[in-house]
Amino acid sequence: HGATELEETGTDVLPRRTPAPAWLPTAKGEEGDFCLRSSDCAAGLCCARHFWSKICKPVLREGQVCTRHRRKGTHGLEIFQRCQCAEGLACRLQREHGPTDTSRLHTCQRH
């Protein structure tokens, strides 16, 4: 039989949720575990592409290199995605101390 049962309430037919199958993990994924979305990962981790699969990776902290996307939608094209910066941080161009600001490196910095 199907995974959902239908329950009639007046004129609406609503699916009734069944418990998750036993093979689904109940614990949140740790760093390096396979995932489908960030909610599958433990606190402080996000779900990001690593080659052709997705794994739990650490959210970036202050001073760590981050990826700034010029065009919307380019994040999905990366083979090695990075997580976003942690809350309270933004991915900004790193300022070099010198006459020529040639670095294109972005790091997580306080707002």
Q: Radius of gyration over alpha carbons of the chain, in Å?
A: 21
Residue 104 gets which letter from DSSP? -
pLDDT (tens digit per residue) in 7-42: 444 555 555 555 555 555 568 999 999 999 999 999
Domain boundaries, the chain: 33-110
Task: For 59-72, give one letter per residue: b (16+ CB within 10 A) or e.
Answer: bbeeebebeeeeee
Assess contact for 110 and 94: CB atoms under 8 A: no
60's tokens: 């970036």
pLDDT (tens digit per residue) in 70-79: 666 555 567 8
pLDDT (tens digit per residue) in 53-71: 999 999 999 999 998 776 6
Over range 78-103, report the average pLDDT: 82
- Residue 10: half-sphere exposure toward Cβ, Cα within 13 Å: 1
Selected residue with higher pLDDT from 20 and 97: 97
Give the domain 33-110 fold: Lipase, subunit A (2.10.80)
